[in-house]
Structure 1
Amino acid sequence: MKAVKPKKNLGQHFLTDLGIAKAIADTVDACPDIPILEVGPGMGVLTQYLVTKNRDVRVVEIDAESVAYLHENFPKLDDNIIGEDFLRMDLTNLFDGKQFVLTGNYPYDISSQIFFKMLENKNLIPCCTGMIQREVAQRIASAPGSKAFGILSVLIQAWYDVEYLFTVDENVFNPPPKVKSAVIRMTRNQVTDLGCDEVLFKRLVKTVFNQRRKMLRVSLRQMFPVTKPSEGFYEQDIMTQRPEQLSIQQFVTLTNSVNEELKKINS
């Protein structure tokens, strides 16, 4: 079967450098002995190295032409080639409820959505590796105080330790993307309970970063659209800071503070 033609509407940029492909595949070795799910394998440039790791490997690919190519060139995978949309998949029974490593050369335009799905299934995914747009990788790995620190940084770092592994140039892809890429690894930390309402935590983080240039005493007003919080709430020292200045623990503390105010209002 002839090579698959990259489809712009699917954000396909096929990696052509086998050395880099092997290096990306080897990032899963940090979480040994558990199955591997590869997202968006395309023509299997990573797959060819993943299947040598003596582990259960499954691949999910939305492009029918790529699925046909994989069936022809990776006959041993056969039933483990899933022609579906990863974002719509139920991951809970994928490996009979067992934990697995998530990896891939992720489409740039949905990488954030992939990581939000990872967070929804964090107890199933102790390790996630792969290649994404460099700017997004820098954002995920950035520390508080950095201009890149944002929603993805906080939500992912609350549950995962992030490693920015290496940068990949544009010229090793077909077609070359207009931006550089980067390979990262996210490994579950020891946190099992944030110590706050997780739904409210996520809502608060998104709320304040949507107005990231404003002080918290301004952006947090959206959390109280009807009734104002108690007197002195906006006078706390933290309220003069902007969201990128806060640590994960400070976001947890702030979430608990907002939660207490909401309970008072609704009581």
Structure 2
Amino acid sequence: MEIDPRLIPILQENTQAFGNVQVLAADFLELSLREFGKELLLVGNLPYAITSEVLLKLIREREAVARAVFTVQWEVGEKLVAPPGPKVNRLGVHLRAYFQVELLRKISRTVFFPPPEVDGALVRIVRLSEPRISVPEEIFERTLALVFGHRRKTLRQALAAHFPPALADKILAELGLDPRVRGEALDLEDWDRLARRLSPYLSVAQDLSPR
């Protein structure tokens, strides 16, 4: 699949000997993966500028995807597999709720043409038989947005930016979460518990703008 029309003839010429290869002139982000069946294997050298959009699409349409092997920016690959700590990001937590993610190897920038300014990473993403979370995706995603929207703030500060401080204190105390830590310190079980507890307050219509 290629969006650049200049590359289509080149790809067609290079793959014409393979009867099981079809070159599609299309925008991956605009297609429905479900149209191609289930248990898909996706392989791609992702443009670094749209990596997040591609991975979010993978999450949204995960029923159609069995696994994927992608080349991404090295720093992104590190964040996708990072344990709780300063390298964790919202996308990595979201992705690992539904997929097993492995960082396979670093790829030198010198093997690309033209060479980018950073090294690449080869990552393998395999859909889990069951999600690691128990809440609906919408609630989980809104919880991530609420906390990571205040990345440099503590959990209490992040929650108190949207809810009455007394309620924020009550929720964190009930869950046994340290109000002084940041969201990056939580593991997936913590995120799931927090999302379940916040679920009554995270209706679709609720405005998550800071108070």
Q: Where does structure 2 lack aligned partners over 5 or more consecutive residues?
A: 207-211
Q: 1:155 aligns to what?
A: 94
- Are 1:71 and 2:9 counterparts? no
Report the Cα offset of residue 110 of structure 1: 0.5
Question: In structure 2, how many angstroms separate the alpha carbons of the residues matched to 1:103 and 1:121?
Answer: 16
Q: Which of 83, 91, 98 is residue 38 of structure 2 equivalent to? A: 98
What's the counterpart of residue 154 of structure 2?
215
The one-character-per-residue Cα deviations of 1:168-208 (angstroms, maximum 9, x if unpaired) are 11111111110011101011223247311320110111221
Greater CA drift, 194-203 or 130-139: 194-203
Cα offset, 1:132, TM superposition: 0.8
Instruction: Give the match's secondary structure for 1:163.
Output: strand
| SS of residue in 2 equivalent to 1:233 | helix
* Aligned residue identity for 1:151: R
Aligned to 2:3: 62
Number of the residue aligned with 1:135: 75
In the alignment, is residue 177 of structure 1 matched against residue 116 of structure 2? yes
Deviations 1:149-170 (CA, angstroms, capped at 9, x unpaired): 1111110111111111110111
Count, aligned residues: 201
Q: Who is 1:22 aligned against?
A: none
Q: How far apart are the structure 1 equivalents of 2:128 and 2:56?
A: 17
Using the alignment, how far apart are the partners of 1:231 and 1:220 within structure 2?
A: 9
Give TM-score, length-normalised by structure 2. 0.86
**Paired residue type of 1:87:** L
Cα deviation, residue 221, structure 1: 3.2
Residues 108-123 of structure 1 mapped to structure 2, 5 A cutoff: 108-123=48-63
Structure 1's 61 and 261: CA in aligned 2 closer, same or farther, altered over 3 A? closer
Deviation at 1:126, TM superposition (A): 1.6
* Structure 1 gaps, min length 5: 1-59
Offset at residue 261 of structure 1 (A): 4.6
